[in-house]
Amino acid sequence: MNVSDPGKNVNLRIDSISRSMVGNIPDLLIDLLEIAAYVYCVDQRIKRGTEMLMDYGKDWRRSLTFSIPVRHPEVWNGEEVQELLVETLGFLSDDSYAFRFRKAEAPVQPRDPYFHELLDAFQENDEVALFSGGVDSFAGAVNDIVTLGKSVTLVGHWSVPKVQNVQATLVDALKQRGYGRRLSYVPVWVSNTDIKPAEYTQRTRSFLFACIGLVVARMSGKDGFSFYENGVVSINPPLAGDVVGGRATRTTHPKVLRGLEDLFSTLLDRQIEIRTPLQWLTKKEVTETIAAAGMADMIGSTVSCTRTHSRTRRHTHCGVCSQCIDRRFAVLAAGMADHDPADQYKKDLLLSDRSVDDSLRMAMHYVSFFRKIGSMTKDRFLVDLPEIVSALDHFPDLSADEASAHLFDLFQRHARSVEDVIARAASEHAGPLFRGEVPAGSPWRPVLRVATVSRSPQAQTMISM
């Protein structure tokens, strides 16, 4: 793999950066960018286990060894840096890592080719934040820029143009509404060249994203940046018993973020902070912040789907991945369905037949999991969900007991929003259910039947007569 000619097969390009900012970036951070690009691109080149939940674990964990030329091998071969890299990435992607760093020989790739579209001036902003174009990242940007009146540099990563188009559309919409002076947008392109990905899970994307965020933050003279992600997704315990380890994504898990903070702080010999301002909000509450800022009509322009390769103009969401299911529940729970058209999803949340593939199992597990959470007592929270324990010691301002209490309340609120959507759907679709018009492969058919019966006192009176 190579980021430079001859033999270049990894793209690494950061656009819309000022000339003065480029001058502020040290070689050590260029090393970091290249390492992150290699890790991310290798993650996509090497196939792991099947997507079928029933076959989880088959070839899932990979053993990855990197030999990378760097400008400062004495730093990268340091014991503490090596341990932080291996442990953080290992927990993030559930793979085994080994790194060997060697002195880069001439010609070393200069920094300039990474920065193609230089600006004469760059707006100084209060914050640097990572921007994916999903509901959470848009909500975080709207909250900071519109509600709190901050100025923000939004850093977006893309590997295919349609992802960058989503981000640019949202940024342009904010500018058109008069917030141009409060934001700037730095798009970053990192991808394999002329190679079709063999693996789409992209567990290491947040490592790349965080490294890019750090670089832009330091170029701006800042010692931190923000990840916009709701707390339920950050913890993301497995929905089913066979979804263990890294199968449940850990992109912004507190343990990962603290590991990245330690790695960055060690490399730069200064304290680096990764902020998560949406940590204690559910997806429904995150969606409501967009509406509260007067931006509800933009929800439909955000894209949360993880299956970028299957996205079309007509269907921006597959409707079957966990992110699509989570998003749709949140939008419905927040009463924002009019701003997130159902026809954008290849499969409707409640009524589509999912029996033809494994998506049926994913959807049913989602509802079953949060139904279990909703009936769970605080005493059973950590016992029944031991995966939560790995996060408790990684909230800097909270004790383990305080973090547990906060997380229990967070998950309970999310479970109630899922229940509300199911209960409302039971009422709205009572007729089709009675007539047998809901497909047998709909994951909600048995749930909606139960909800309809339990919430219909008139029907119970008729039966008693």
Q: What band does 461 get if pLDDT is binned at 50, 70 and 90?
A: very low
107 prior amide bond cis, ω within 30:
yes
Residue 448 has pLDDT above 70, yes or no: no
pLDDT number for residue 336: 95
Q: What band does 84 get if pLDDT is binned at 50, 70 and 90?
A: very high
Please state the separation of Cα 359 from the chain's center in Å.
20
- When pLDDT is averaged across residues 11-31 and rounded to a whole number, the result is 84
Which is nearest to 11 in space by CA: 187, 171, 129? 187
Q: What band does 71 get if pLDDT is binned at 50, 70 and 90?
A: very high
Q: What angle do CA 416, 140, 156 make, to 5 degrees?
A: 125
DSSP-H helix ranges across 296-429: 322-333, 359-374, 378-384, 400-428
pLDDT number for residue 349: 79
pLDDT number for residue 300: 95
The tokens for 340 are 């997130």
pLDDT number for residue 273: 98
The number of C-alpha atoms within 13 Å of 49 and in the hemisphere containing its C-beta is 20
CA dihedral in degrees (164, 167, 172, 175; nearest 10)?
Answer: -140
pLDDT number for residue 359: 59
The tokens for 78 are 């340091």
Angle, helices 400-428 vs 445-454, to 10°: value is 80
Q: What band does 98 get if pLDDT is binned at 50, 70 and 90?
A: very high
Residue 247 has pLDDT above 70, yes or no: no
Q: Please name every residue paired with 345 in a beta bridge, in sequence order, or none if there are none.
A: 317
Q: Please name every residue paired with 183 in a beta bridge, in sequence order, or none if there are none.
A: 152
- When pLDDT is averaged across residues 255-276 and rounded to a whole number, the result is 97
The tokens for 416 are 């109630």
What are 169-196's pLDDT values in tens digits?
A: 999 999 999 999 999 999 998 888 877 7
Residue 465 has pLDDT above 50, yes or no: no
What are 59-69's pLDDT values in tens digits?
A: 678 899 999 99
- When pLDDT is averaged across residues 391-409 and rounded to a whole number, the result is 96
What are 353-396's pLDDT values in tens digits?
A: 666 656 567 777 888 899 999 999 999 999 988 889 999 999 99
Which is nearest to 189 in space by CA: 114, 80, 298? 114
| Maximum average pLDDT range among 41-55, 99-113, 200-214, 237-251 | 200-214
Residue owning tokens 């070839």: 59
Residue 107 has pLDDT above 80, yes or no: no
Please, where in the chain does CATH 3.40.50 lie? 10-275
Q: What band does 54 get if pLDDT is binned at 50, 70 and 90?
A: very low
Residue 316 has pLDDT above 50, yes or no: yes
What are 301-312's pLDDT values in tens digits?
A: 999 998 877 778
CATH number of this structure's domain 10-275, picked from the four choices 3.40.630, 1.10.10, 3.40.1350, 3.40.50: 3.40.50
pLDDT number for residue 404: 96
The tokens for 273 are 């902070």
Q: What angle do CA 263, 265, 268 make, to 5 degrees?
A: 105
* Residue 116 neighbours by CB distance under 10 Å: 12
Residue owning tokens 């497995």: 238
Q: Please name every residue paired with 13 in a beta bridge, in sequence order, or none if there are none.
A: 189
Lowest mean pLDDT, pick from 154-168, 238-252, 314-328, 423-437 = 238-252
What are 128-159's pLDDT values in tens digits?
A: 999 999 999 999 999 999 999 999 999 999 88
Lowest mean pLDDT, pick from 123-127, 235-239, 330-334, 435-439 = 435-439
Long-range contacts of 116-119 (CB under 8 A, 24+ apart): 116/13, 116/15, 117/15, 117/16, 117/17, 118/17, 118/18, 118/19, 118/22, 119/16, 119/17, 119/18, 119/19
In percent, the amount of the chain with pLDDT more than 90 equals 55
Residue 301 burial class via C-beta count within 10 angstroms: exposed 0-12, middle 13-18, buried 19 and up: middle
Residue 76 has pLDDT above 90, yes or no: yes
Residue 453 has pLDDT above 60, yes or no: no
pLDDT number for residue 446: 58
How high is the mean pLDDT of the chain? 85
CA dihedral in degrees (382, 205, 363, 238; nearest 10)?
Answer: -20
Which is nearest to 186 in space by CA: 209, 160, 162? 209
pLDDT number for residue 360: 62
- When pLDDT is averaged across residues 16-34 and rounded to a whole number, the result is 86
